[in-house]
Amino acid sequence: MDGAWADDPWAVDPASFAACDGTRARLRFLVTYAVLAPSGHNTQPWLFRLRADDTLDLCADRTRALPVVDPEDREMVIGCGAALANLRGAAEALGESLQVEVLPDPADRDLLARIVPLGPCTPSIAGARLLRAMTARRTSRFAFAPDPVPEILRAAAIEAAERTGEARLHWVEPFPRRHALALLVAEGDRVQMADPAFRHELAAWMRSRHGATRDGMSGAAFGMPDLLSFAAAATVRTFDMGTSQAAKDMALAEGSPALAVLATPGDTPRDWLAAGEALQRALLAITAGGFTASFLNQPIEVPALRPKLAAELGVPGEVGVPQMLMRIGRGPKPVPAVRRPVRDVLREAP
Ligand SMILES: Cc1cc2nc3c(=O)[nH]c(=O)nc-3n(C[C@H](O)[C@H](O)[C@H](O)COP(=O)(O)O)c2cc1C
């Protein structure tokens, strides 16, 4: 694959799709968009397999698991679902018809989706906007400006998330629910940070953005110089900063213009994959509307807090199972988090 995006997927140029010679080249190009998806700790837990019959498999790469914060690989599958949403969206935008079967083989739990290319089709009208959102989207952990999220954007995010009927996006009203959720986030911080195993796992994925692995989180994502990533990791590993982290996240939760929770009917790998797709579609709608999002998943990751979060949202049967807690607003745009190049995540049969 030529072009700057062969080394840095963020540099992908959609105009080059037309020059892709053959099905395999077009699928490789679509994977470039897939890897721009968010993932917990930026582990990028996906592996693509281009098979001899020109079908493409999306697999979970369990070597990139986060056993402490994500013991069931739930967030791992959500990240892969987000990558699948980008791949589908890029195909629609660029004019490649795909048939996607999720979890096609009950005997292979790593195989999350089989993608069958059906040939060129007419590019979607909104395609260019969607592709721009994919390269513009960032997780922004900074404080947001107070500008409210316009009703039309909330509706667009709900429409995007709920398009397939497999997930629901709940916007959380300002008070008192927002305060209750902020308290749960703070409680989650204290529980997680008190656990040395959690801190070790987090620190293991904190690194300079100029390292060779092209994954993990730089200090830059948290508002500090990239050079200090190593020192930040050492601090996280060594000290329980639960109290200060709780105060910081509580202020972010209460100070953001909006919070939203993504939920699914059940809590199976199929739900997680659907949640990931719904999440990414919602994030792209939010990005296209000039807003940004970041995550406060602590009350979902700490098992004892998850039912409390669901109860805060309303009638449990109607709310569903919470999968992601987000805050949304306008804020500073961080530098892009690094991505592994397509050649590192794609295995090709001859
Ligand atoms: C399933 C999932 C869980 C995440 N959980 C958190 C979280 O709890 N806190 C946080 O700050 N970021 C969280 N993130 C964001 C990732 O850290 C982020 O996507 C990654 O560092 C890459 O950065 P980018 O989204 O700007 O490309 C999560 C992302 C995903 C997909």
**Alpha-carbon radius of gyration of the chain:** 19
Q: Which atom of ligand 1 is nearest to the CA of 141?
A: 11
- Ligand 1 centre to CA of 57 (Å) is 24
User: What share of the chain has pLDDT > 70, as a percent?
Assistant: 99
Ligand 1 binding pocket includes 79 (Cβ within 6 Å): yes
The per-residue pLDDT for range 138-150, each reduced to its tens digit, is: 999 999 999 999 9
Ligand 1 binding pocket includes 295 (Cβ within 6 Å): yes
The domains found in the chain, sorted by start residue, are 4-136+340-348 (3.40.109), 151-182+250-329 (3.40.109.10)
Q: Which residue, by CA, sits nearest to atom 12 of ligand 1?
A: 295
Question: What pLDDT does 345 receive?
Answer: 98
- Ligand 1 centre to CA of 217 (Å) is 9
* Residue 165 burial (CB count, 10 A): 9
Question: What pLDDT does 157 receive?
Answer: 98
Q: Which residue, by CA, sits nearest to atom 10 of ligand 1?
A: 295
- The mean pLDDT of 103-108, rounded to a whole number, is 98
Question: What pLDDT does 169 receive?
Answer: 97
The answer to whether the predicted template modeling score (pTM) of the entire model surpasses 0.95 is yes
DSSP string, 74-140: HHHHHHHHHHHHHHHHHHHHHTEEEEEEES--TT-TTEEEEEEEEEE-PPPTTHHHHHHHHHH--B-
- The mean pLDDT of 23-39, rounded to a whole number, is 98
The per-residue pLDDT for range 72-95, each reduced to its tens digit, is: 999 999 999 999 999 999 999 999
Question: What pLDDT does 244 receive?
Answer: 95
C-alpha torsion sign, points 65, 68, 72, 78: negative
Question: What pLDDT does 1 receive?
Answer: 64
Question: What pLDDT does 19 receive?
Answer: 95
- The mean pLDDT of 19-41, rounded to a whole number, is 97
173: confidence class by pLDDT, cuts 50, 70, 90: confident
The per-residue pLDDT for range 115-133, each reduced to its tens digit, is: 999 999 999 999 999 999 9
- Ligand 1 centre to CA of 138 (Å) is 9
- Ligand 1 centre to CA of 257 (Å) is 19
